Structure 1
Amino acid sequence: KANPSCLCTVGRFGARCYLKYDDCDPNPCLNNGTCLSTYDRSGEVSYICNCSVQFYGNECQNEKASVNVTLNMTFELVALATVVQLYDIAIPSLMLLIQHQRVTYGFPSTITYNHPYAYAPYLGVLKVYEDLVRPVYFIMYLLHQSEINITTSPERCPHASSLLHTAIDQSVPDVFKYHHICQNDGKRFCFHDENYLCICQPNHYRTECFGHNIQLDHCDNCLSGGKCVQGDRNHHHDFICLCSSCQQGLRCEFSLQPFSFTLDLLLSGSKEVKVVYVSIALLIFTIGLFNNFCSFVTFKRPSPRNLACTSLAHWQRHTLLGAYLLSYAPQAFGFILYVLPSTVYKKEFVKTSIGKSYFKLA
C-alpha cells in the first residue's frame, strides 16, 4: 500500500506534517509591527510585516518622515473647500511630483501626514476654493527635512497676470517677464499661472519656476454644473462637490429653484406613478375577480339552472343590471389608464372605426 502524501498547512512540514516551524515566532517585525506568515517554497520570503502608521520597511525598521503643520492665518479667508498638496521636485526637469493630496471642507487648522520615505515632501501647497471659478494658491513650507513640525502663516501666491505691468513689451511672452515680478516687489514670495508655480529667490533678483499640473484635483462626479474637487487620487470616491446657488446635495443633485427638475425628483416621481398604476390595476383585478366569483356562486345554485325564465323583483333587476355594467369596468379602466396615455396604442386605436368615432365626439 502506497504511503500517503501530506499537504501541510502554513507553519508545519515533514512527511506527516508533525514538525512545526513558525517564522513569526519570535516576531521579527520591529516597532510593534505585525508578522504574517506566507507560503514560499524557496523560503526567501516566509513572512510579511504589517507595519504601524509611523514605520515602513521589510521589518518596519524605518521611521516615516512626518509632516505636522499648524496654520496661522493672519487675514480673513472664506473657504468653501481646501486641497492640501505635498510635492517633491524632479531634477533636472523641475516638475512638481505629487506625493500626497487631500481635500476638506472649509479651511483646515492643522495638517498631519506620514510620508513613507526618509525625507518629507519638499513643498507644501494649499489650493483654497473661495468660489467655483478659480482657486487661490498658498505655500505652506519649502523645506528639505526628515521631519517637519512647524507653525506657519501660508504665503499667498496670486496669478501672474495680476502682477505684470502693462507697460512691458506685449510682444514678449509673459513667462519671460516673470523675473521682473520678483525684482519689482521685494516682498513677493510666490506666484503662479496655468503651467508654473514660481518662487522668488531670497535676493529677489530672479525667480525659480516649477512645472505643475493644475488638473490634479479636477474630477467630473458632480451634477447641475457643480465644481468637483478631488482628494486622494488613488480613491475615486474621495471628492467634494461645490454646488452653485440653489443647488445642494453630495453631488448637487437637489435643486431649490421653483419649477425645476432634478434627476432625483424625476426618479422619485416615476416610482410614485408606477405605484399608482399598479394599485389601480390590482383594484380593477380584485373587483373583476369578486364579480366573477359572485356569478359563479349564483349559477352554481340549482334554481337558476332549472328555470329558463324567472320573474325578478325590482331591486334584483337593478342589481343584475349593475353587475352586468360593472363587468365592463376593468376593460374601461384599462383602456383609459394604459391605452389612451400611450402614443403607440393611441395611434393604432385612432385607425379603427371606433377610435375615429370616439375622437370625433371628444
Structure 2
Amino acid sequence: QSEICNSGLHIYHRLGIDKYSSLCFCPPNYYGDQCQYQNQRVSLSLTLVTVEQPIAYVIVVMLIEDDNNRQEIHSYHQFTYVPLEHCGQPVNLYLLYSKRRKDNSKNYSILIDAFNKDSLTYLMSWHLMIPFVFLPVNRISAFLTLPISRTFDPKHCPLQCYKGTCMKYHNEERFFCQCYSGWSGAQCHIPIDCSMCASNSICIGSIRNRSICVCPNEKFGSFCRLQLVCPIGFCKNNGRCIVTDERMIDESYMCFCSEQFFGPRCENVKHRMDISLENIEIPLYLLAYIYTRISFERSPPRFVILRKMTMFQTSVTLYSEALFQMVIVKIDNRYYLAVLRKFESSNIVTSISPAQRCVPIHELLPAKLLSLPRIQRLKSYHIPCQHDFNLQCFVDESYMCLCTEEHHSNCFPLDYQQTFACEENVYCENGGTCLQDRPMCFYSILCVCNDCFFGDRCQFYAKGIGLTLDDLFRYEIRPHSTLNDQSLTVKLSAASTIIIFLIGLLNSFFGYLVFHNRNCRKVASGIYLRLSSIISTLVVSMLIIRFWFVTYTYMNPLINRKILQIGCLLFEPMLRFFLHMSNWLNTCVGIDRAMAVFQG
C-alpha cells in the first residue's frame, strides 16, 4: 500500500511462520519508518550537450562545503553520458547533506567534473553556488556544453597547487586546483586513501572513508573492480562498442557507427549521394538541405548536412538514414537544386552547375512587382516559370519555389536568414566561426577558419611553415572508417608511399654497398655519399611511419591525446631533420666536386 510509505516502496519482511514486519524503502528525498519526513537536499536538473558525438563522458556531481580548505564532500553522483543516446535529456539528481540538520552558517556549492571515459582525461569543471542556504530544499538547473579537450592554459593561473593543476571554472571567472589522483583539498594538499580504487581508475576524493573512483571503459562498480565487456561481434560493420549502463543487462551496450552505417548495432547501410561541382568555384563549405518528402501545404520535413571543402575538392559524398526526394545545396548564399524526384530514391550520383541555381526573385520580377507587399507579390510568382522554361527554382526572403512541368510555381517555406551559428563556440579555436546543423543534438559541425589558420577546428597556424602530411590529408581521410572505405586519393597515396619506400630502400642499400668499398671513400665525396645512403634509408622509413601514423589517427579520432602529442613532437621533426641532413650531404658532395674541378 503506497499510502503507508508516502511515495516509498512498501515491503513485508518475514520473521518466521506467519510473522511479518512492515518496512518502507524510501526515495532519497524522504526518510523515516514510513518515509514521512523530507530530507534537506539540493534538487539538481542538468541538461548536457556536446560538440563531439561519438564519445562517452563521465560526469561527477558533488555537493561540497566552500568554507574551508578541506572542501568536504557531503554527497555525490556519478553517471555516464553518451551524446548519441542522451543528448538534450535532462538528468535529475538529489544531493543530500551529510547531516540531517545542515549547518546554515556554512556555504555550500555544487562541483561538476567532466572526464573523457575512453582515456579518463579530465576536461572541465563547473561551479554552481547554492544561493539560499537557509531553505530546506534548493532547486537548481543548469545547461552545460561539454568540450572535447581542455580549453584553458594553466600558465595564467595565480593559485599554488601542491599536487594538482591550476584551472578555471568554465562558468565563472574563478580559479581552482584540479587535484591529481589521490589528493584533495582546495590546494591539493590533503592525501586521501585510494587503496579501494582499482589500479587503472582515477581517485578524485573520499566520502565517509570510502574512495570516489572514476572507472575506465569496461569497468564498473563503486571501486571499478567489476568488469563488463562488450560481446564479440556485437557491433557490425566495424562499429565501436561501449558499455553505457551496467545496471541494464539487456541494454548495457551501445555502438558508435561509421558515417556509412546506422542502427543499434550498425547493421543498416545509409543511403548515399555523390554530388560533383561543375563550373562552380570551390567554396569553404556547403550546406545540403535533404527533404524526405515534398509537401507544399506546410513546411516539408528536412534535415541539414554541413560539409567542409578542401582546396581542390570538386565532389562531396553525403549519407542519410532516410531516402532522398529533394536535395538543395547552398553555396555562399546561393541555392542549387541538386535532386528532385517524384519518388524517394537512394544511392544517387548527380552534379550541380550554374544552370541549376535557384535565382533570387529580385532578378526575375520587375521593380514594380517587387515593391508590392509580399502577400500581393506572391500572386505573380508564376510569371518567372512561364517566361523561362529552363528555370527550375527561385527564392525570396521566405520561400523556395519550384517550377512544375506545367510552368507553374509551387512554393514552400525556407528560412533564408538562418545562419547555423553555434550558440556557444567550444569547438573552434583561434577565432574560427562555428557552424552546426541544429542548435542541439546536431549531426554535423564545422569550423570556418580565419586567414593563416587551418584544421578541422582551426587549431593549426600555417604562417611561416611548410606543408606537412597533416595539411595534405586531413580533409581527405574519413574518420571512423577503414582503409577500404577511404577515398581514392588516400588509397593511391598509400600505394605510392609503399612504392617510394621500397624503391628508396633498394636505392639506399645499393648505394651503401657501392661506397662501402674503401677505394670509393678515398675522397670526401665517397664519405658523403655513403652517409647520404644511410640518411636516405632513415628518410623513407620516417616517411612511411609518418604517413601511416597520420592515416591511422585521422581514421580513429578517439585515440589517446598523449599518443598524438608524442607523434607530433617526434615524427615530423625527425622527418624534417633527416631531409635537411640529406640535402646538406648532397650539397657537400657538390662543393667537393666543384673544388676538385677547380683545382684540376
Q: TM-score, normalised by structure 2?
A: 0.31
Larger Rg computed on CA atoms: 1
Higher percent of residues as strand: 2
